[in-house]
A and B are shown apart, each in its own frame.
Chain A
Amino acid sequence: MAGVLGTSIKRREDPALITGRGKYTDDLLVEGMAHAAIVRSPYAHARIRGIDTSAAKTYPGVVAVLTARDVAAAGIPGMVPVGWLLPDLKTPAHPMIAADTVRHVGDAVAVVVAEDRYVARDAAERVAVDYEPLDAVADVVAALEDGAPAVHDDAPGNVAFDWEIGEKDPVDAAFAQAAHTVELDLRNNRLIPHAIEPRAALASYDSSTGVMTIHMTSQNPHVHRLLMTLASLGMPEHKVRIVAPEVGGGFGSKIHHYADEAIVGLCSLKLDRPVKWTATRTETNLTDAHGRDHSTHCAMAFDGDGRITGLRVDTKAAMGAYLSTFAPAVPTYLYGTLMSGQYDIPAIHCHVTGVFTHTAPVDAYRGAGRPEATFVVERLMHLAGEATGLGPIEVRKRNFVPADAFPYQTQVALAYDSGNYGPAMDRALEMIGYDDLCREQASRRGNGNGNGRRQMGIGFSSYIEACGLAPSAVVGSLGAQAGQWESADVRVHPTGSVTVYTGSSSHGQGHETTFSQIVADRLGVAPEAVEVIHGDTDLVQFGMGTYGSRSAAVGGSAIAGSVDKIIEKGKKIAAHLLEAAAEDLEYEDGSFRVAGSPDRALGLGDVALQAYLAHNYPDDLEPGLSATTFYDPANFTYPFGTHVCVVEVDTETGSIELLRYAAVDDVGNVINPMIVDGQLHGGLAQGIGQALWENAVYDDSGQLVSGSLMDYALPKIHNLIPFELDRTTTPCPHNPLGVKGVGEAGAIASPPAVVNAVVDALKPFGVTHIDMPLTPEKVWRAVNAD
């Protein structure tokens, strides 16, 4: 249907969700269902001397209490695997249930199954675990020091991996000859994902068929099935069905395969009855894979004209107690490879040490590596504006990869397919009214009394994103244990309506709406005539899921591919019926037409019906009108943009107020502007949250101090301001839709924009850096530091 692509049609998902009719995992009730409560370590590091389950087992209403012994007795692999291998990666065992040692607060030591969830909790408190507490280390820097407590005996020095990209010697040479250099020591703060819906699983094993069905909070059911069967439960894949019903957000945290869902599976297997577990908020905070947690030294070198000549980055990246599913990829191939940003940098070297700590694992969280890289590059560019005297705009423009230099090969593996960076920045400057802001800032700076207390700052972030990790052969050569394509099965029914089966399993993004728009546009049907099915391994052939801003670019392209195949086949059928040559047929607005004879036409429904009747049909054609595509992209896609943040800082208290936030993003062709804006709003809230409020803090003994929402500050609506959004459009040249991706852009771009703005406001006080989150106390101390 013409005009449906690029239109803000309303999300078809919303009526059910906003009237409370969406069915999430915890809403599902199954006959005979029991409830699990997982007993977790209160210590960051301890030896388990013994577990006495007798009081729990005899507690009224308890069905069973299982420990590591039961995992062993079940004869299953019982492990939680890592899905991305780097050279020389240390892969210490991660048992589903800790057998002799716990390695972070929240590590599972036992599970209680009871007739109701209250009883399960009560009984869980009666499992007596005899712990011998051991020294722990929670900090990524401290974990590398001599004599630090070892997280794993088979990972000496707590080093999980030592990785580098780029060439060191040219960088050293660039620094030796530099006219200007800037450098920074920074911490990228640890974040807790906080999907609104906590993780949950309902496992139903049926011994009469040998089939296990697990409904769970998953961003990628097929990946979960693979890891669950291979490493944890040891069941054959065809006997396991994973279903993701409504999933209330994930931000990456529901990509990973955790111990908990496997434990629930084991309970059901052993008891031959359905078992449900829903994490409490406290449990998700202790066990969901966290994000970020880097300690970084970085420096940039410039020639006399302010052109970048070299970039040097050395990062210690926390892995937590165990390697989570994609953890090793995040601070390496999703981080080091992004170090060129929007700039033409002739020499880059990035060294990363992956570090075990006695904390929750760290893995992909909205942006995954790319926010950390963007923070490094854009903080350095801010400092460079000062050091070179060019200011934040000119120093960036002078170094942008020129529009005529694409495709552009960076020094860190990625080849940017397309881009046009100047116009996005110009538009952002225009929107924000940069010159007026500078005048306002100058007047506040000049004013020593009264108003001088409230300083104003303007911060920029010109970011690059790489979405839709691809192609499979390349990511495989980099260590991925999975492909990075996506599948789509598009079926046209005999009446001409359409069902799409996609491997991109949505967890709130609105795939059902946008994917229906893709089909509607390409096939010339109404969006309402398209049903989109996802999130069930029994219904969808195979799929890689939703993460890394990949669904439109990879999942959408797979759908487009199937639609194209259907049109091709439909032309053959129509040609037969219209007694024309297939080459002479055109497809437009839902009709097959003979070129030049507009009255010789057949609608999609007519052709579809004939395809299923196959009475009057080409001899060499199979009946039916459906097509499957496994789309493996040729490259990543590279969205980009410039964001500008304006803040006011109360220098007396250190409080920060957001005044303006303008973002110009280029995400390629846009399918649904409202959904794109929504993704940006959410991403911006998360990125601003990281910059100003959010912080996962462990104390020296490895206790999570910010384990509840009373201490962990998520952004709330009254903390934020209306965002001013606009776009430029540079279509992706290598996928059929020209789309790039938008899921993470806001979270990637915004932290440095905010921090740069605050540092800019505090320039009169000589402040050059404050680590995130910029709490009032930190800002106040920076203002008052000698």
Chain B
Amino acid sequence: MADTVVPAGPETAVEDIRLKHHFATSAQQMDADTLGMWTFLITEVLFFGGMFTAYVMYRNMYLGAFASTSQYMNVVLGGTNTAVLICSSLTMALAVRAAQLSNRRHQILFLILTMIFGTAFLVIKGFEYHAKWVEHLVPGFGFQYEPAQYAHHAQILFFLYFAMTGMHALHMVVGLGLLTYLVVQAYRRVFSANYFVPVEMIGLYWHFVDIVWIFLFPLLYLIGHRR
């Protein structure tokens, strides 16, 4: 795949303001920002990793109970949400590309599309949470479960379900806030081929949140409806 390699344009006054005083070159600043962002994402991997570890242990212990919860999971909504997030990742990638090409109109367009998908995800998630509440599937708040023999262990899964999807949703909310910031900045013509690191970094964050969901979907929704 031959990608275009674009040398940055001549330095402008704007560029000099963007270069923070303690860096020698823009390249150094960009390298540092990128490495910092990836390091941050590693901390996120381990943050969610704690819950995934718990999930693996309990799933091994209580596979039957875990499988039985699938009957309460809404595969259609979960699957739709997966698709919605994947779409938002595409538009995010396109927004970064538009910024790199100094295409301000496209950039704003794709950022807003990403926000729309992100909001759609949260709305759908909200409907799911509501359904769980109505069906008494929230641990600690009048939890009731059929088949009764699984009532205890299923509660563990639902606890993990709310912890994991809840943390994920929180990350989405933060992401939407960051996207709003990007739209405002893009509107003010801050980004160009010379300066797009914030768009790229927030893009990385957004994709990461997508990846978490890519694992949550099969692990929470698709455990056992073949039974």
A and B from one complex: no
Query: Could you tell me which B residues sit within 8 Å of A by CB distance?
Result: none
Query: Could you tell me which A residues sit within 8 Å of B by CB distance?
Result: none
